[in-house]
């Protein structure tokens, strides 16, 4: 008899994308099978089917659970110091995000607090956040720098992310985002000089990030700065990302498509031409409905137009201390259904294979032989209930790299000595 390390028996329902990238009509298609077994060896799925005959080191009876791939959150700012609840209250009283930023709040607020903390302090703050996102089903997460805004503090943040990568193997993707804001005392041009001539080479030399991101927006970085940054980042070997067309339509989506960026994120103000540019490219449109929700904005990204045009659409949290202090990707899925008018099947593709594509990862996001065994057991009767049962953590068991790390909503595999 064949052997495996882990066997899930009689899964009530197994849902999985059918394709490694889901766009066009494929975006609304998933595989849904009942009473299925899944065999895992090492960190990979070995087999899937009914009545599998394996001698397993560990067997889980899964007849009460819906099984799906682990969630992939391809846009977060998880490493930061301080908090910004006072700004949230100001928004409740009518202040806009831009007004708060102009008064010294916003990103600059988080920069001040992040600079004041040591690498060790930032790491210790990040650990419980990582535990929380894992408990809610996120098994792969991208984390950006961007609250340092000078060379040493940006490197400090990236070293924290590097430590998280070691603590959570094959879970964290690192992104350098030095051009997140213009620091006090600098102009756009002078700071972009520093980013391109000093920061990018240092990050490259220390091997601290795979991606490079920039915030192109009025009052921050212009499309011209975006072009310069993309050229320099690509020259230094980084894959490209961009915060695009969030508050104003500046042609950032078109810029992303032109440079072959892996993703263009936000897109609440994307133009018709921007939609067409993404539809004709391999750049993923990463939508962040939690940000619109948390900022109490009327505008959400035009998911239906993007999907119907043929763009690859992913969803992410934008977890950060200011514009979306929320990490629960299940709630992001709820928001996508209610405010982006996405279908359940489109959402499942958007938080698995399409989010994986936004990070250049082809080894996860589907339940199929050879794919990474990052799996969730959901305590729900069927996959549609995941969208109906909003605001609740539906995750019962988390399997990461082929090992059960959380069961009965409690951590059972502990961190290595840190």
Q: Is the pLDDT assigned to residue 102 strictly greater than 90?
A: no
Query: What CATH number did the domain enclosing 261 receive?
Result: 3.20.20.140
Q: Does 416 reside within a domain?
A: no
**286: which residues sit within 8 A by CB, 6+ positions away?**
74, 75, 263, 264, 265, 266, 267, 313, 314, 315, 316, 355, 358
Q: Which domain holds residue 26?
A: 2-68+366-411
273 and 216 fall within a common domain: yes
Structure tokens at 160: 């924290």
344 and 303 fall within a common domain: yes
Q: Is the pLDDT assigned to residue 81 strictly greater than 70?
A: yes
24 and 88 fall within a common domain: no
pTM above 0.75, yes or no: yes
CA neighbours closer than 13 Å in the CB half-sphere of residue 91: 21
199 and 236 fall within a common domain: yes
- Tokens 């899937």 found at: 48
pLDDT given for residue 270 in this prediction? 98
| Confidence category of residue 373, pLDDT binned at 50, 70, 90 | very high
> How far from 255 is each of 194, 207, 229, 280, 299, CA to CA, in Å?
22, 26, 11, 13, 22
Q: What is the pLDDT of residues 160-183, one digit of tens each?
A: 999 999 999 999 999 999 999 999
Query: What CATH number did the domain enclosing 390 receive?
Result: 2.30.40.10
| Confidence category of residue 407, pLDDT binned at 50, 70, 90 | confident
Q: Does 169 reside within a domain?
A: yes
> What are the DSSP calls for 20-43, one per residue?
SS--GGGGG-EEEEEEEEEEEETT
Q: How many residues does the chain have?
A: 418
pLDDT given for residue 27 in this prediction? 97
- Tokens 């007849």 found at: 63
Q: Does 417 reside within a domain?
A: no
Report the alpha-carbon distance of residue 315 to residue 311 in Å, rounded.
13
pLDDT given for residue 359 in this prediction? 98
Percent of the chain with pLDDT over 70: 98
Structure tokens at 166: 């070691």
200 and 284 fall within a common domain: yes
Query: How many angstroms from the chain centroid is the CA of residue 22?
Result: 17
211 and 238 fall within a common domain: yes
**17: which residues sit within 8 A by CB, 6+ positions away?**
30, 31, 69, 348, 349, 352, 353, 365, 366
351 and 386 fall within a common domain: no
30 and 83 fall within a common domain: no
119 and 216 fall within a common domain: yes
Count of helix runs (H) and strand runs (E) in the chain: 16, 17
| Confidence category of residue 106, pLDDT binned at 50, 70, 90 | confident
Average pLDDT over residues 129-155: 97
| Confidence category of residue 411, pLDDT binned at 50, 70, 90 | low
- Higher pLDDT, residue 401 or 411: 401
Q: Select from 358, 383, 399 the last residue of a domain.
A: 358
Q: What is the pLDDT of residues 265-323, one digit of tens each?
A: 999 999 999 999 999 999 999 999 999 999 999 999 999 999 999 999 999 999 999 99
Percent of the chain with pLDDT over 90: 91
Q: Is the pLDDT assigned to residue 350 strictly greater than 80?
A: yes
> How far from 173 is each of 159, 168, 285, 318, 347, CA to CA, in Å?
12, 11, 18, 14, 22
Structure tokens at 273: 């031409």
Report the alpha-carbon distance of residue 246 to residue 260 in Å, rounded.
19
Report the alpha-carbon distance of residue 264 to residue 248 in Å, rounded.
14
Report the alpha-carbon distance of residue 330 to residue 386 in Å, rounded.
8
Domain count within the chain: 2
- CA neighbor of 353 nearest in space, from 387, 382, 315, 396: 315
Q: Is the pLDDT assigned to residue 195 strictly greater than 90?
A: yes
pLDDT given for residue 417 in this prediction? 47
To the nearest whole number, what is the mean pLDDT of the chain?
Answer: 95
**364: which residues sit within 8 A by CB, 6+ positions away?**
69, 70, 72, 139, 140, 352, 356, 371, 372, 374
> How far from 194 is each of 16, 60, 164, CA to CA, in Å?
45, 54, 27
Report the alpha-carbon distance of residue 150 to residue 159 in Å, rounded.
14
> How far from 122 is each of 117, 150, 161, 289, 369, CA to CA, in Å?
6, 16, 10, 27, 38
Stated as kind and residue range, the H or E segment containing 190 is helix 188-194
Report the alpha-carbon distance of residue 244 to residue 214 in Å, rounded.
9
């Amino acid at each position: 008899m064949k052997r495996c390390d882990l066997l899930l028996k009689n899964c009530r329902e197994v849902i999985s994308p059918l394709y490694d990238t889901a766009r066009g009509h494929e975006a609304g298609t998933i595989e849904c099978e009942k009473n299925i077994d899944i065999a895992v060896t090492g960190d990979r799925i070995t087999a899937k089917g009914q009545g599998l005959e394996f001698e397993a080191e560990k067997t889980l009876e899964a007849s009460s659970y819906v099984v799906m791939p682990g969630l992939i959150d391809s846009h977060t700012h998880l490493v930061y110091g301080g908090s910004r609840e006072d700004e949230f209250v100001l928004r409740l009283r009518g202040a806009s995000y831009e007004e708060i930023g102009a008064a010294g709040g916003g990103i600059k607020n988080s920069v001040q607090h992040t600079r004041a903390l040591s690498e060790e302090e930032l790491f210790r703050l990040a650990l419980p956040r990582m535990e929380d996102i894992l408990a809610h089903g996120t098994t792969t997460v991208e984390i950006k720098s961007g609250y340092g805004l000078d060379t040493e503090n940006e490197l400090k943040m990236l070293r924290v992310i590097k430590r998280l990568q070691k603590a959570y193997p094959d879970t964290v993707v690192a992104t350098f985002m030095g051009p997140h804001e213009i620091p006090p005392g600098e102009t756009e041009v002078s700071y972009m000089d520093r980013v391109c001539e000093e920061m990018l080479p240092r990050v490259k030399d220390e091997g601290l990030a795979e991606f490079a991101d920039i915030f192109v927006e009025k009052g921050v970085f212009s499309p011209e700065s975006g072009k310069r940054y993309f050229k320099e980042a690509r020259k230094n070997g980084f894959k490209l990302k961009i915060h695009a067309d969030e508050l104003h339509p500046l042609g950032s989506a078109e810029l992303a498509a032109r440079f072959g960026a892996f993703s263009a994120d936000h897109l609440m103000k994307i133009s018709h031409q921007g939609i067409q540019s993404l539809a004709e490219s391999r750049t993923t449109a990463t939508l962040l409905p939690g940000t619109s929700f948390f900022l109490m904005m009327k505008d959400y990204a035009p998911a239906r137009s993007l999907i119907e045009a043929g763009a690859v659409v992913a969803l992410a949290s934008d977890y950060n201390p200011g514009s979306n202090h929320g990490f629960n990707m299940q709630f992001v899925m709820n928001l996508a259904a209610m405010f982006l008018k996405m279908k359940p099947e489109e959402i499942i593709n958007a938080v698995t294979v399409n989010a994986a594509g936004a990070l250049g990862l082809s080894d996860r996001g589907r339940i199929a032989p050879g794919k990474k065994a990052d799996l969730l057991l959901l305590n729900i009767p069927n996959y549609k209930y995941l969208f109906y049962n909003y605001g609740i953590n539906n995750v019962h068991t988390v399997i990461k790299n082929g090992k059960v790390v959380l069961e009965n909503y409690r951590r059972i595999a502990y961190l290595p000595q840190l």
